[in-house]
A and B are shown apart, each in its own frame.
Chain A
Amino acid sequence: MSGPGDPRAGRGRIWVGLWGPAVAWLVHFLAIYALAEFGCLSPLAERVVLGASLVAWLVLAVTVACLALSGGVTWLAWRVDQRLSAAPTAPATAGPEADPGPDAGRFAARAGWTSGLLFTLIIAVEAVPVFFYLRDCGVKALP
């Protein structure tokens, strides 16, 4: 979190830390669903590259990207929490541009890295099925 002189940046990081992992999960889930629903009925499912279909490769690529995003935000929130925990307690100031203050910020940072750990785990777990369908999408959907 930035210092008192830059309240906007501090608030931005706190909001990103709080909601970032959840958004990373959302992006990941919608992307792998779209790849499975739409990609499995497209030529992408037929093309095999290095032993896996393009759909599988794309699912893996999206998963790695979202794991990196979620993990990065988790690390960021962890850093903010560490910094705020070390800082002396200072009151939040009033006004629309208020510095969030350690109390508000610490809670958000702690919630951020906790949810980050969990959402990162969930992103990884949700991608596991693709390893069972590397060459195709299983039984074709009914048209």
Chain B
Amino acid sequence: MSVGTAAPPAQAGFERTWQGHPGLRGWLMEVNNQPLGKRFMVTAIIFFLLGGVLALLMRLQLAVSDNDLLGPQVFNQLFTMHGSTMMYLFAVPFLEGLALYLLPLQLGSRDVAFPRLTAFSYWTYLFGGVLFYASFLVGVVPDAGWFAYTPLSGPRYAGLGVDFWLLGLSLVEVAGITAGVEILVTILKLRAPGMTLGRMPLFVWTMLVTGGMIIFAFTVLLTATILLELDRAAGMAFFDPERGGNSLLWQHLFWFFGHPEVYIAFLPATGIVSAVVAAFARRPVVAHVLVVVAIVMTGFLSFGLWVHHMFATGLPELAMHFFGAASLMIAVASGIQVFAWIATLWGARPDYRTPFLYLLGFFLIFVVGGMTGVMVAVVPFDLQVHDTYFVVAHFHYVLIGGVVFPVFAGLAFWLPKVTGRLLDERAGAASFWLSFVGFNLTFFPMHIMGFLGMPRRVYTYPATLGLDAHNLVATAGAFMIALGTAVFIGAFLHSLRRGRPAGEDPWQADTLEWSVSSPPPIFAFRRPPVARGRHPLWERGRPAAAVEAEHQRVTAALDAAPTTWRATLSTDPLTGAPQGVQWLPGPAMSPFLVALGLLIAAIGVVANLYILDLAGVVLAVGALARWLQPDEALLERLRQDPAPRAAGLPVFTTGAASTGWWGALCLVVILGTMFGALLYAYFYLSLFSDAWPQGGLERPGWGLAGPATGALLLAGAGLWGSRRAFHGGRRAAFVGLLGGSAAGAAAAAVLVLVELVRLPFGPGVNAYASAHFTLSGLAILALAMGTAVAAATTHRLERRLERRDAFDTLQLQVTTMLHGFALVAALATLVVLHTSPVLL
């Protein structure tokens, strides 16, 4: 392995290119993964502390029976905000922040694939979290639980607090999805030359699978939260049984997200565990291939478990047992990882330092949580303990044992890399023992409390239940956990000033991040590294393969280069062979402005100030247009730069070799998942309806949908033809066909809109009408997006056709993907909406 740390001739231009702007403006314009990853983690830890304070208040309330310290309303608010904070604002954002910080360093890249998207992700996350907590300021705190079950969270029973919850959460979901895309494309495309799939570290594998899971799971939740907000703000009826809606639909959509969410937090934690186990055992994790397979299995199977949260809702028995079987099977995947870690540590002589102590805590706690998970996967058992403190104990053993302990292990392990200073070991050990003992004091008695009949989500309990002692112990344990956390944070703050210098690799670990200084330079690697094996730092002496000479030549050409723009190597997703010199954007205000626009629009919805909505949308769309606008002068500069030529690589690539293509593919998958979730809702609602359309509503005719379908088909033909015209260099044909395709999509959108306006019923009449209007609305939005993209591409490529290069080809490919998706999705929507009422 060669890690490229030999100092090349100093090139001030290169370093200057990577510097951000100073001051507040520079802070707002920051796009680099390292500062943004740190911001993600710090913000998430602040939310973790807030969520922890809420938990302590709840435990104070429950410390003794018949307590009236808080009262039921405040207790409802506290458990809602505690659960929501820990699940949405801490666990996933923290791990995404860790990944955004760490992945480029582990992969041998200088930054992530879409730096401006990282900035956008951070700002939307921060704004979403602030909107969540703003509910405290205006005294309308959400109180419907972190799951917001309908009809409790519907307009009849819940006040403005749920709107804060839904809109804040929507922003956080957008942040999560964009970070997921970032993680996925970075791993696929920005690995060091020679880093094949088989050489990727296990932490990277966990993040690859997690990135994919986020895209599907969060998108379904985003769709569900939009539907619920439509019920609340626009009077729709998706979840209102009195108007043909279905409350269980919310549970299906929510848990389709909610269960994978657990694994979205747990899988990266297993990546942390694998990294720490290998470093402390001083040997590779046993059965690497099998562990990778277990990670992939976990990712997939986690989407087959959602109904096990709904065993008590009256679903068909057959369906429940399918989910019960799947829930048992996921233990196989978890078991593979646990046994691989045990086998790795078998016979090793690890140092019992802070990361390793937290790791041992993880093993003990998570295995107990996993065992109780197998218990609740069995339907009859689940029915006995459902909604009791047994379940509270189970999921805290899984989430704190399986996520928080590994997170603290990871913090103790990687903070020396981030800060350059080691934690104080005595303080680290003290924090671990306080947390470990406190955790078990808090949550182990809850298993027994659940068996003895203590229900969850109640603000107090009678003394006759005989659970005072259990609850008092649990409360004392909670304060021990808080003390342990405080000691850890104190140790961290102390280490910033007085910690011992960490050096490059304080743990003698194996992955690439330990090859650079601590803290790393902002560009991570002056010269991109070459990966010779799976454990680069342990294989320095291994003989080089012949192909490495070529990789070394490429990376040498990029040593402290280019000097006027930020760049990193892009590589083949399978082999890690270099494919191009990837341009990376510098500081930009547009991500902040787009996120700010979304926040303003969300506030407008909560406050019923639609002028704010308009202002927010205008700001967001305007900033987005500025963001996406190609900078022709910059493109020309990239074409002329000598560095890519010296490396023998193109600066622009097309198709799967390009990060942009992968980004567009992710967008299509996200939009497709939204359509899929809506179509599921449509058919689910029809399943429980006596007639479809409901309420004797007239079936929609083909009067306008027919011409709209024709327009879509013609637009598709135009799009297909425009690609041939582009590659043939036929300018007039290209402009006519792609421009015509855009016009066809616009015409179809207008026809669908006119059909909606002319319908004799409104969207709030019943659930059928709500579903019809929402699906049509989404189709119109997709067509508007496709039209805008196709029109902009027609306009730009018209001038470029004679001089077209790979960048222009890529633009057309991305346009084809997005515009083509819009056409197909709209066509499918029209067909479903106009044929299903006849068929169902």
Residues of A within 8 A of B (CB): 11, 14-15, 18, 22, 25-26, 29, 32-33, 36-38, 40-41, 55, 91-96, 98-101, 103-104, 106-108, 110-111, 114-115, 118-119, 122, 125-126, 128-130, 132-133, 137-143
Contact = CB atoms under 8 A, between A and B. Distances in A.
B831 interface: no
Contacts of A94: 547, 550-551, 554, 577-579
Contacts of A98: 572, 574-575, 577
A132 B325 CA distance: 13
A32 B321 CA distance: 11
Contact of A29 (B293, B317, B326, B655): B326
A129 B326 contact: no
Nearest to B579: A96
A125 B575 CA distance: 35
Given A22-B296, A96-B653, A104-B196, A14 B574 contact: yes
Contacts of B196: 92, 100-101, 103-104, 107
B501 to A, nearest CB: 37
B318 A129 contact: yes
Contact of A40 (B292, B318, B655, B657): B318
A36 B300 CA distance: 20
A93 to B, nearest CB: 7
A113 to B, nearest CB: 10
Contact of A101 (B323, B550, B575): B575
Given A100-B196, A129-B324, 5 more contacts: A36-B316, A36-B318, A92-B547, A92-B576, A108-B197
A93 B549 CA distance: 12
Contact of B316 (A93, A106, A137): A137
Interface in B679-712: 683, 687-688
B577 A129 contact: no
A121 B246 CA distance: 35
Contacts of B318: 36, 40, 55, 129-130, 133, 137-138
A33 B319 contact: yes
Interface in B184-229: 196-199
A129 B327 CA distance: 13
B606 to A, nearest CB: 34
B337 to A, nearest CB: 13
A132 B321 contact: yes
A143 B688 contact: yes
A14 B547 CA distance: 21
A25 B300 contact: yes
Nearest to B248: A142
Is chain B's interface secondary structure helix, strand, loop, or mixed overall?
Answer: helix
Contacts of B319: 33, 36-37, 40, 137
B314 A141 contact: yes
Contact of A111 (B289, B317, B323): B289
Interface of B: 196-199, 289-290, 292-293, 296-297, 300-301, 303-304, 307, 313-319, 321-326, 328-329, 332-333, 545-547, 550-551, 554, 572, 574-579, 653, 655-657, 683, 687-688
Nearest to A53: B318
A26 B216 CA distance: 13
A73 to B, nearest CB: 13
A115 B688 contact: no
Contact of A92 (B316, B326, B575): B575
Closest 4 CB pairs between A and B? A138-B317, A107-B198, A91-B547, A129-B321
Nearest to A116: B293
16 contacts: A18-B197, A29-B304, A41-B688, A96-B653, A98-B575, A104-B197, A106-B198, A107-B198, A115-B297, A122-B332, A126-B329, A128-B325, A129-B325, A130-B318, A141-B314, A142-B314
Given A26-B303, A37-B316, A141-B314, A100 B575 contact: yes
A100 B332 contact: no
Nearest to B324: A129
Contacts of B316: 36-37, 40-41, 137-141
Given A25-B300, A40-B316, A126 B326 contact: yes
A38 B300 contact: no
B813 to A, nearest CB: 13
Contacts of B301: 25, 122
A92 B573 CA distance: 13
A140 B300 CA distance: 29
A104 B194 CA distance: 10
A82 B655 CA distance: 31
A102 to B, nearest CB: 10
A137 B324 CA distance: 15
B321 A38 contact: no
A92 B577 contact: yes
Contact of B574 (A25, A93, A100): A100
A101 B194 CA distance: 11
A96 B657 contact: yes
A133 B317 contact: yes
Nearest to B572: A98
A95 B577 contact: yes
A114 to B, nearest CB: 5
Nearest to B688: A143
A137 B197 contact: no
Nearest to B655: A96
B198 A103 contact: yes
A48 B307 CA distance: 27
A25 B551 CA distance: 38
Given A41-B687, A98-B575, A114-B293, A91 B546 contact: yes
Contacts of A132: 321
Contacts of A38: 683, 687
A98 to B, nearest CB: 4
Nearest to A142: B314
Contacts of A141: 314-316
Contacts of B688: 41, 143
> Which of A94, A96, A101, A111 has most B Cβ within 10 Å?
A94
Contacts of B199: 103
A22 B213 CA distance: 13
A6 to B, nearest CB: 15
Contacts of B297: 22, 115, 118-119, 122
Given A96-B657, A126-B329, A132-B321, A111 B293 contact: yes
B325 A93 contact: no
Contacts of A140: 316
A33 B550 CA distance: 51
B329 A122 contact: yes
Nearest to A94: B577
Nearest to A143: B688
B647 to A, nearest CB: 11
A15 B197 CA distance: 11
Nearest to B303: A26
Given A122-B329, A129-B325, A108 B546 contact: no
Given A94-B550, A133-B318, A125 B574 contact: no
Contacts of A137: 316-319
A104 to B, nearest CB: 4
Given A114-B289, A114-B290, A119-B297, A126 B322 contact: yes
Contacts of A143: 688
B815 to A, nearest CB: 21
